[in-house]
């Protein structure tokens, strides 16, 4: 009876006394960078995240004892098929997991873990896209449900995004500097734009000969709000001006460096380098603003820096690169090293 009476108080005191250190993003046991010496490294491997156990702080013996008495477990959920990833610009990342049918929420500072699996009366079936606006609201596209859901920063469900016609298969989603949401619809072969208040604004890109998309999958923005779209069945990344005019293409079909076999997630770093995932070639490639290949990282495998059908990518303000290594059931984290930066 005494244990039951004082257990909540003891747990509260233990939580208050335990200072939680932010998650360490670099694994000191692994020293891996690209390109290889004698070249100056530009990409460094930091660590892998396999699930909640890698995020939640370890508990001391006393806390473990009281968790045992309370019947609590902190094992958490492992990643199954992480497909897309996004962040709130502070310390929270969201991982769309198509295998588990959930969106994992990891706070890398407080090391708290949460999950989203409901959207009003709907159950998430196949979350494939995530994005966050300036108010830290989360948008989740579900390809099987054919819907895009909005949640607040605390995970409270708010509403659906409604285009002029129903989504056929929503996929990648991204938010520009004006808080406009661009949602890829794979089977409609286009994107839909929603304004800062989530009202439907129109289709993208313009209906001009030579600009048509074929099963697009992902979208990203550079610092000038130019729009990059993974044009999957044309095996290229297309760049559009903010008003929808085609201004360039990056890559073509093939398995040589600079080419694509199955292009997927895309993102841009702080210097506007484009990063493009290739699920078939198990790598990511980095291009400059002119579309010139700068670096290729990865091959098939399970070791650090190796991939098995990777999908999504997110780059934060510190140029940490988070890649959804889908069939290795993990997130791999890298760092872009700016020229002349301390190594």
> Could you tell me the residue ranges of all domains in the chain?
19-336
Domain covering 19-336 in this structure, CATH number: 2.120.10.30
- What dihedral do alpha carbons 242, 245, 251, 253 form, nearest 10°? 130
15 token code pair: 């939580």
pLDDT at 3: 38
- Per-10-residue mean pLDDT for the chain, 343 residues long? 38 51 93 95 98 86 49 72 97 98 98 97 98 98 98 97 97 98 98 98 83 94 98 97 94 96 98 98 96 97 98 98 98 92 59
Give me Rg for the CA atoms of the chain.
Answer: 21
Q: Which is nearest to 8 in space by CA: 94, 53, 72, 57?
A: 72
CB of 331 closer than 8 Å to CB of 342? no
Taking each helix axis as running N to C, give the angle between helix 2-17 and helix 61-70, from 0 to 180 degrees, rounded to the nearest 10.
140
d(CA 287, CA 258): 8
Q: Which residue intervals of 52-204 are DSSP H helices?
A: 61-70
**Tokens 């009202």 map to which residue?**
199
Q: Side-chain half-sphere of 25: how many Cα atoms within 13 Å?
A: 18
How confident is the model at residue 341, as a pLDDT? Answer: 60
Q: Quote the pTM value.
A: 0.90
Surface-to-core class of residue 291, CB atoms within 10 Å of its CB (0-12 exposed, 13-18 middle, 19+ buried): middle
The pLDDT assigned to 206 comes to: 80
Which contacts of 201-208 are long-range, i.e. CB under 8 A and separated by 24 or more positions?
A: 204/240, 204/244, 205/229, 205/240, 205/244, 205/245, 205/246, 206/243, 206/244, 206/245, 208/245, 208/246
Count of CB atoms within 10 A of residue 153's CB? 15
What separation in angstroms does the CA of 199 have from each of 137, 156, 193, 206, 310?
Answer: 15, 20, 8, 19, 32
> What is the per-residue pLDDT for 311?
98
As a whole number of angstroms, the distance between CA 321 and CA 308 comes to 17
Output DSSP code: residue 307. Answer: B
Both tokens of 270, joined, read 């702080």
Among 5, 9, 79, CA closest to 311: 79
Choose among 91, 104, 112: nearest CA to 140: 104
Give the model's pLDDT for residue 140: 98
């Amino acid at each position: 009876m005494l244990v039951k009476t004082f257990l909540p108080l003891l747990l509260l005191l233990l939580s208050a006394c335990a200072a939680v250190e932010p998650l360490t993003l670099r694994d000191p046991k692994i020293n891996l960078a690209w390109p290889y010496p004698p070249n100056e490294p530009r990409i460094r491997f930091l660590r892998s995240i396999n699930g909640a156990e890698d995020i939640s702080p370890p508990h001391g013996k006393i806390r473990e004892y009281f968790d045992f008495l309370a019947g609590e477990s902190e094992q958490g959920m492992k990643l199954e098929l992480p497909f897309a990833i996004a962040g709130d610009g502070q310390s929270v990342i969201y991982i769309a997991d198509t295998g588990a049918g959930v969106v994992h929420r990891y706070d890398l500072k407080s090391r708290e873990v949460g999950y989203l699996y409901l959207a009003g009366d709907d159950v998430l079936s196949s979350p494939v896209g995530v994005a966050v606006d300036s108010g830290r609201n989360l948008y989740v596209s579900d390809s099987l449900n054919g819907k895009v859901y909005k949640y607040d920063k605390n995970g409270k469900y708010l509403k659906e995004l409604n285009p002029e016609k129903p989504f056929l298969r929503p996929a990648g989603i991204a938010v520009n500097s004006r808080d406009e949401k661009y949602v890829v619809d794979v089977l409609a072969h286009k994107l839909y734009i929603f304004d800062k208040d989530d009202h439907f604004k129109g289709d993208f890109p313009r209906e001009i000969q030579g600009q048509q998309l074929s099963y697009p999958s992902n979208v990203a923005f550079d610092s000038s709000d130019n729009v990059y779209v993974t044009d999957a069945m044309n095996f290229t990344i297309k760049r559009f001006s903010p008003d929808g005019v085609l201004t360039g293409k990056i890559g073509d079909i093939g398995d040589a460096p600079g080419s694509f076999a199955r292009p997927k997630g895309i993102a841009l770093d702080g210097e506007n380098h484009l990063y493009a995932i290739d699920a078939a070639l198990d790598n990511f490639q980095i291009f400059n603003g002119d579309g010139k290949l700068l670096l290729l990282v990865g091959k098939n495998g399970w070791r650090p820096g190796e991939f098995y059908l990777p999908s999504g990518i997110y780059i934060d303000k510190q140029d940490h690169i988070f890649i959804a290594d889908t069939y290795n059931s993990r997130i791999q984290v890298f760092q872009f090293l700016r020229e002349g930066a301390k190594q």
